[in-house]
């Protein structure tokens, strides 16, 4: 693998996807990803380049990366051509994709709406045709939601399946490395490079998560139902209705929020307290909640997580697949107030927490549109069934 070499950003960033400044590039080579243009979220290290983590004070207080993250190296060694590092929400702590320091990437699929985050630049690069494959990270939905908002295929793998060495942490028991593509075949090819072999065998039956369908905007549910019907016809089976969360997805959101907050402060709190960094809208408030989250809420959330994880893994252990809308609503308009963005975030994480709390792989398929905006349909399998899930997406 050749060492990445700097170039200055040319006029090939119409989506505003890449981090400002010299562009990290590395020529492609032979291998299963030969000819594939790769973009990498700016929380993965690339030797010789700063990892800014979306925040100028983080960049100021951390040295240039001495080595390249193993997940990035694996893709480059498989022949991919590196075309640049992509923007992220500050410290990966947000879901709209906004970054006031580097500029918010444009959503090529719905230019009047947010691209989704925190892997906003990676999603924008692929949706805008600036890259074929992009590496991101997903803690609370940061690959799945931008994929849904931008009309892409996206995978959050089984927790721990892909190395996060050389990547900045947010909430380690939820953090995963994920990726985007415009077609299921390339998504699967990248999976064959990054994922362990895992269990073999076909997946099925499909279980329709009723809470997620009922909680989605009616327009989202209606836009995705024809896709579900087509999948049912192709597989010659009907999805069976399932009530997965007896206390509702709001309870899942509350548990995820408390657990994530505790881990965020344990991971980044010392740096925040010492550096007193500048933050964009909403980020400082999320860190303040992380600093002050009540211990009794965290303790209760641990119990919710253990019980939910056991329930989901028990249901999926035989090969069943959950199916539901990736996001309950389309991407918020760029004009949405901070309060509206927070409401969307809470509703959305209640659904993305299904795979997050259970540690399961989830793939989102771009199968619907609402008022010109994309909407994704998600499939979730048992831990370790990532390759089978990617194969199912390819077959559909």
The H-or-E segment that residue 313 falls in is helix 295-316
Instruction: Write down which residue in 169, 194, 219 finishes a domain.
Output: 194
Q: How far is CA 389 from CA 74, 218, 322, 338, 361, in A?
A: 21, 27, 11, 35, 8
Do residues 186 and 99 share a domain?
yes
Give the pLDDT of residue 15. 97
Instruction: Write down which residue in 140, 174, 194 finishes a domain.
Output: 194
Q: For strand 81-86 and strand 133-138, is the pairing parallel, antiparallel, or unpaired? A: unpaired
Preceding peptide of 205 cis, ω within 30°:
yes
Do residues 182 and 302 share a domain?
no
Preceding peptide of 118 cis, ω within 30°:
yes
The CATH number for 299's domain is 3.90.1300.10
Give the pLDDT of residue 200. 73
Domain residue limits at 316: 206-395
The H-or-E segment that residue 134 falls in is strand 133-138
Do residues 253 and 131 share a domain?
no
Do residues 110 and 254 share a domain?
no
β-partners of residue 241 are 208
Give the pLDDT of residue 202. 87
Selecting among 120, 122, 137, 142, the annotated active-site residue is 142
Do residues 213 and 182 share a domain?
no
Does 395 participate in catalysis according to the annotation? no
Q: Assign 112 to helix, strand or coil.
A: coil
- Is residue 37 in some structural domain? yes
Do residues 11 and 148 share a domain?
yes
122 CB neighbour count, 10 Å cutoff: 38
Do residues 66 and 178 share a domain?
yes
Do residues 147 and 289 share a domain?
no
- Count of structural domains, the chain: 2
Q: Which residue is listed with tokens 């990270």?
A: 137
Selecting among 41, 85, 122, 327, the annotated active-site residue is 41
342 CB neighbour count, 10 Å cutoff: 16
Do residues 301 and 231 share a domain?
yes
Does 73 participate in catalysis according to the annotation? no
Does residue 122 contact residue 72 with C-beta atoms inside 8 Å? no
Give the pLDDT of residue 7. 43
Does 333 participate in catalysis according to the annotation? no
Residue 85 tokens, joined = 């590092």
Do residues 355 and 270 share a domain?
yes
Q: What is d(CA 378, CA 21) in angstroms, rounded to the nearest whole number?
A: 36
Do residues 52 and 86 share a domain?
yes
Instruction: Write down which residue in 133, 159, 194 finishes a domain.
Output: 194
Q: How far is CA 160 from CA 52, 163, 314, 345, in A?
A: 24, 7, 19, 25
Give the pLDDT of residue 11. 52
Q: What are phi and psi of 29, to 5 degrees?
A: -145, -160
Do residues 249 and 117 share a domain?
no
Q: How many residues are listed for the chain in this entry?
A: 396
Q: What is the mean pLDDT of each run of 10 residues along the chain (396 residues)?
A: 46 91 96 98 98 98 98 98 98 96 98 98 98 98 98 98 98 98 98 90 94 97 98 96 95 98 98 97 95 98 98 97 98 96 96 98 98 97 97 94
Selecting among 73, 85, 87, 118, the annotated active-site residue is 118
Name the percent of the chain in helix, strand, coil, to the closest 5. Answer: 40, 20, 45
Does residue 119 contact residue 143 with C-beta atoms inside 8 Å? yes
Does residue 152 contact residue 180 with C-beta atoms inside 8 Å? yes
- Is residue 133 in some structural domain? yes
């Amino acid at each position: 693998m050749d060492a990445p070499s700097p170039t200055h950003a040319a006029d090939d960033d119409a989506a505003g996807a890449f981090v400002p400044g010299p562009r990290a590039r590395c020529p492609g080579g032979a291998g299963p990803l030969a000819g594939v243009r790769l973009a990498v979220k700016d929380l993965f290290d690339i030797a010789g380049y700063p990892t800014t983590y979306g925040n100028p004070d983080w960049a100021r207080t951390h040295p240039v990366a001495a080595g390249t993250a193993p997940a990035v190296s694996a893709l480059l060694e498989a022949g991919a051509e590196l075309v640049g590092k992509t923007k992220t929400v500050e410290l990966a702590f947000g879901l709209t994709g906004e970054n006031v320091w580097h500029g918010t990437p444009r959503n090529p699929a719905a230019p009047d709406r947010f691209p989704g985050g925190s892997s906003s630049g990676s999603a924008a690069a692929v949706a805008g045709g600036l890259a074929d494959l992009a590496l991101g990270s997903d803690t609370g939905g940061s690959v799945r939601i931008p994929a849904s908002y931008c009309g892409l295929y996206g995978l959050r793998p089984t927790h721990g399946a892909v190395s996060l060495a050389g990547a900045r942490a947010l909430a380690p028991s939820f953090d995963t490395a994920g990726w985007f593509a415009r077609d299921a075949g390339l998504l699967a090819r990248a999976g064959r490079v990054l994922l362990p072999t895992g269990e073999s065998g076909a997946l099925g039956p499909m279980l329709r998560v009723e809470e997620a369908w009922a909680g989605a905007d009616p327009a989202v549910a209606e836009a995705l139902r024809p896709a579900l019907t087509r999948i049912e016809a192709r597989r010659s089976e009907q999805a069976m209705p399932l009530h997965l969360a007896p206390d509702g997805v709001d309870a899942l959101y509350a548990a995820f929020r408390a657990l994530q907050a505790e881990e965020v402060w344990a991971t980044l709190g010392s740096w925040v307290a010492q550096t007193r960094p500048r933050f964009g809208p909403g980020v400082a408030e999320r860190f303040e909640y992380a600093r002050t989250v009540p211990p009794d809420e965290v303790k209760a959330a641990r119990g919710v997580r253990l019980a939910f994880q056991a329930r989901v893994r028990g249901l999926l252990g035989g090969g069943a697949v959950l199916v539901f809308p990736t996001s309950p609503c389309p991407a918020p308009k760029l004009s949405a107030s901070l309060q509206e963005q927070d409401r969307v975030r809470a509703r959305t994480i209640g659904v993305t927490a299904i795979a997050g709390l259970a540690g399961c792989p989830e793939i989102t398929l771009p199968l619907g549109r609402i008022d010109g905006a994309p909407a994704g349909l998600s499939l979730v399998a048992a831990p370790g069934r990532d390759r089978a899930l990617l194969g199912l997406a390819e077959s559909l």
